[in-house]
Structure 1
Amino acid sequence: MKNILFICTEGFDTPGPSNHLIGSLIEDMLDSDFKVTLIQSRRTKINEDLPDTLKGKEYLSVYTIDRKLIKKSSFVYRYFEEALYAFRCFKVWKKIRDIDAVFVQSCPTVIFSIILVKLFLKKPILYSVQDMWPGSAVNSGVLSNKLLSSIFCTIQKSAYKKSDLLTVISEDMKTKVTEQGVPERKIYPIVNWFDDRSVHEVTWDENKFVEKYNLSKEKFYVQYAGTMGYVFDYKMVMKVAEILKEYKDIEFQMIGQGSQKDLFIKEVQNRNLGNIKFYPLEPQNMVSDVYSACTICLIPLKKGIIGNSVPSKAGLLMACKRAIVNSVDENSDYYRMFNENEMGISASNGNPNAVANAILELYKNKEKRNQMAERGHKFGQKYYSRSLNTSKFITLFTELVEKNKN
């Protein structure tokens, strides 16, 4: 039985887009005769340390390390604290003797875990690249210092080089990683999947989110649910809401938390945009209800982000049969995917009028909206399902361990 060490930057206690991915991957690996040793952090205690699906699993060992909750604006402090966390993880896993391969999760300080594993454990590493550091930070304006960005880019290239395999979440990201000098043979695109066992459309009358906030069935809800951080283009949302404010039955649902949320709320109030409503983050078990509560979804990303990261909510929305309007880079594979498969509309993130027109097109044509949602649902089942994509990881780990034995 192969034992895979998971070194995760965040723990299940802290809500995040990777929680359902890590949880379902570990569960499916355990069901495929793997042992898993999970090292995770505990920061917010919003959720339990483990989801119910992983509790009591015979071949799962879990080590949880308490960490401080640090503001994202405290960039230097966060970086050093994350680096320290890698060494704290090392103190745990260096005592474990039967590890066959290691899974490391995206974070700016991933290089520390990779170096420690290579020096002391000497086992093959699969690096799961969810967000290309420092690309997203540079393109979103968080990291403007050219010297620092160059240093971090060099460090990241070293992380790619020292890893045995890299998984990326889109063809756009594969292109970006290849441009960093990584051989294509090391790179495997595996999309962020939805859990086809639990995520599904919830009817309006049975929807807990609808009931909780007493939503009106007569309104056309344009929803963004997720992290309102630096890659999220809240200014685009405001521009589009301004263009569409004469449509009194169109309402923008902004659901979640993030470093930009307070600033977003303040600017909405200053502009008196009453068609934008804010809602708090909902627990993981409300995913289907939240995404089913909208008429369509809006995914607004800043320019240059899509190659460095990909919205994990796309597959979830497909599972809930919702058409998606994307505000993204025109030259991206992600942009083309929606338009070519007619399962949503992608518009340039440099053109708020085009985004507004895409929303209006679906607002005025219910039949087209439903057809796009249905096509997206079929596309999601074919390419974004849990069963398909976790099996790709299982195959990679099996081959990685066997190759290392030889």
Structure 2
Amino acid sequence: MRIAMFPDDYLPDSTLVHAKMFHELAIELKRLGHEAIIITPSHGKQAEHLKIDFIDDIEVWRFRNPPMRGQGKIKRLISESLLSYNSYRALKNFDKLGTFDACINYSPSIFFGALMHWFKKKQNAYIYLILRDIFPQWVIDEGIISPRSPLAYYFRFFEKLNYKSANSIGLMSQANIDYFSKFYPHISNLQVLRNWADITPYNSSLDRNIRKEFSLENKVIFFYGGNIGHAQDMGNILRLVKKMKVHKNAHFLLVGQGDEVDLVLKTKLRDNLDNITFLPSVNQDQYKQLLLQVDVGLFSLAKTHKAHNFPGKLLGYMVQSLPILGSVNEGNDLIKFINDEGAGNAFVNGEDENLFNAAVLLFKNKSYRIAAGLQANRVLKESFSVEAAAAQLIETIGKK
């Protein structure tokens, strides 16, 4: 089959987990004999409406679109809103467009829905929506916008268009399907599609030795990599950082970008948190090198979340056999999953003492860290391989 894939960010510059996931999926689809083409925004200046390049023999079409992340909320909204328009403008007269058997759309963003509708109507393409954020519901849950605000109605319009255009919608767990169905009981084309990763551990010489660079040679490093925003509630991690100051050889490394970077930097300065280092986003190769040098993988989700997210960053930790530590919203089945599998420790956001005690255990007990990391890697191989995700997608699309 000929398959178009629509992540809103992509390699080599993106640090977002889904950019890496889509690249791994494209490689696996190609290995299976399909033609997979990535169609993604340029995120900045580009002379042509459409530019073609190749990464690991995967063909990438970048359409001209303003940058989205790190630009402030208003600029991001404008840029995301233009995704379907600018991609259609670049593709409509493109001589290599041809016909696609299927389109794989990733949400967030919600703004590719109009383009998916066009592909479905004009080419009879099968549209598979990989739904990873039930947006705008989570920003309403967070109190960031009112459910009756003009902005909420604007987002709801594009959200519904996204769902309407999809032949199938893949959510990351049964709990997420149950949650989604409370809001959209009339939508039945749902299935569980877990996050995935290339399960081959990364092994490379280090271009950047962070232990030497930041004098962390004898430290146990707790690592957080990815989006640093409201949905992640960085205050949750910062409370842990503050409590862990009593353990001089425990250090926290945060890497990424987002709306709460200023919170991290201001809190570090205000509370004299010398046990935390912040780095801006790095590319995927640099990110993988960081994972080779740290000891524990951190994650966090805001307590007001209602959906049951499985943060994609966990897969990167699991590939490198890192134990997992973090906290999420109440009722999230990720807590039971991590704890029951012995892959680390997970709690409800707000259970600060439990999170602290688990961090101390991981800090002090190297044998426990290693054992939990090995369990995390075992779970990855059993349940989150890119081969399993690709096979499920092809089977579903093939039924059209």
Q: TM-score range by the shorter chain?
A: 0.7 to 0.9
Cross-structure match for 2:159: 156
- Shift of residue 155 of structure 1? 4.3
SS in structure 1 at match of 2:25: helix
Cross-structure match for 2:64: 66
> What is the rounded CA distance, in whole Å, between the counterparts of 1:369 and 1:324 in structure 2?
9
1:89 aligns to 2:87 (yes or no): yes
1:186 aligns to 2:189 (yes or no): yes
User: For 1:303-342, what aligned pairs fall within 5 Å after superposition?
Assistant: 303-305=303-305, 307=307, 309-342=309-342
> What is the rounded CA distance, in whole Å, between the counterparts of 1:181 and 1:6 in structure 2?
25
Contact 1:209–1:286, Cα closer than 8 Å, also in 2: no
- Shift of residue 50 of structure 1? 5.2
Cross-structure match for 1:134: 136
- Among 194, 199, 204, the residue aligned to 1:196: 199
- Alignment CA distance shift 1:383-1:209 (3 Å): farther
Cross-structure match for 2:100: 99
> What is the rounded CA distance, in whole Å, between the counterparts of 2:199 and 2:54 in structure 1?
17
> What is the rounded CA distance, in whole Å, between the counterparts of 1:40 and 1:269 in structure 2?
38
Contact 2:65–2:86, Cα closer than 8 Å, also in 1: no
Contact 1:131–1:308, Cα closer than 8 Å, also in 2: no
- Alignment CA distance shift 1:51-1:180 (3 Å): farther
Contact 2:268–2:276, Cα closer than 8 Å, also in 1: yes
Contact 1:196–1:387, Cα closer than 8 Å, also in 2: no
Amino acid at match of 1:102: C
SS in structure 2 at match of 1:245: helix
Contact 1:201–1:321, Cα closer than 8 Å, also in 2: no
Percent identity between matched residues is 19
- Alignment CA distance shift 1:50-1:331 (3 Å): farther
Please give the per-residue CA displacement for 1:225-269, whole angstroms capped at 9, x wherever unaligned: 112122122111221122221111111111222221123101220
Cross-structure match for 1:78: 76
Please give the per-residue CA displacement for 1:118-144, whole angstroms capped at 9, x wherever unaligned: 443343211111222112322344334
> What is the rounded CA distance, in whole Å, between the counterparts of 2:129 and 2:153 in structure 1?
21
CA RMSD of aligned residues (A): 2.8
> What is the rounded CA distance, in whole Å, between the counterparts of 2:212 and 2:394 in structure 1?
39
> What is the rounded CA distance, in whole Å, between the counterparts of 1:377 and 1:207 in structure 2?
25
- Alignment CA distance shift 1:50-1:373 (3 Å): farther
Cross-structure match for 1:22: 22
- Among 87, 110, 113, the residue aligned to 1:111: 113
Amino acid at match of 2:106: Q
Cross-structure match for 2:4: 5
SS in structure 1 at match of 2:56: helix
> TM-score normalised to the size of structure 1?
0.86
> What is the rounded CA distance, in whole Å, between the counterparts of 1:260 and 1:181 in structure 2?
31
Tell me how many residue pairs correspond in the alignment.
Answer: 389
- Shift of residue 394 of structure 1? 2.5
Cross-structure match for 2:48: none
- Shift of residue 76 of structure 1? 4.6
Amino acid at match of 2:102: A
Deviates more, 1:142-151 or 1:165-174: 142-151
Contact 1:348–1:354, Cα closer than 8 Å, also in 2: no
Amino acid at match of 2:103: V
Please give the per-residue CA displacement for 1:312-341, whole angstroms capped at 9, x wherever unaligned: 111111111111112112311111101111
Amino acid at match of 1:6: M
Cross-structure match for 1:236: 236
> What is the rounded CA distance, in whole Å, between the counterparts of 2:354 and 2:148 in structure 1?
33
Structure 1 unaligned spans of 5+: none
> What is the rounded CA distance, in whole Å, between the counterparts of 2:389 and 2:121 in structure 1?
31
> What is the rounded CA distance, in whole Å, between the counterparts of 2:365 and 2:328 in structure 1?
23
> What is the rounded CA distance, in whole Å, between the counterparts of 2:9 and 2:68 in structure 1?
13
Deviates more, 1:208-217 or 1:118-127: 208-217
> What is the rounded CA distance, in whole Å, between the counterparts of 1:159 and 1:41 in structure 2?
18
Please give the per-residue CA displacement for 1:144-192, whole angstroms capped at 9, x wherever unaligned: 4533435534642443243101112233322222223356862222222
Structure 2 unaligned spans of 5+: 46-50
Deviates more, 1:132-141 or 1:314-323: 132-141
Contact 1:321–1:376, Cα closer than 8 Å, also in 2: yes
- Shift of residue 212 of structure 1? 6.2
- Alignment CA distance shift 1:201-1:322 (3 Å): farther
User: For 1:244-259, what aligned pairs fall within 5 Å after superposition?
Assistant: 244-259=244-259
> What is the rounded CA distance, in whole Å, between the counterparts of 2:384 and 2:186 in structure 1?
25
> What is the rounded CA distance, in whole Å, between the counterparts of 1:94 and 1:389 in structure 2?
30
> What is the rounded CA distance, in whole Å, between the counterparts of 2:296 and 2:164 in structure 1?
41
Contact 2:257–2:281, Cα closer than 8 Å, also in 1: yes
Cross-structure match for 2:382: 382
Contact 1:9–1:40, Cα closer than 8 Å, also in 2: yes
Contact 2:296–2:324, Cα closer than 8 Å, also in 1: yes
SS in structure 1 at match of 2:263: helix
SS in structure 2 at match of 1:86: helix
1:271 aligns to 2:274 (yes or no): no
- Among 163, 167, 179, the residue aligned to 1:176: 179
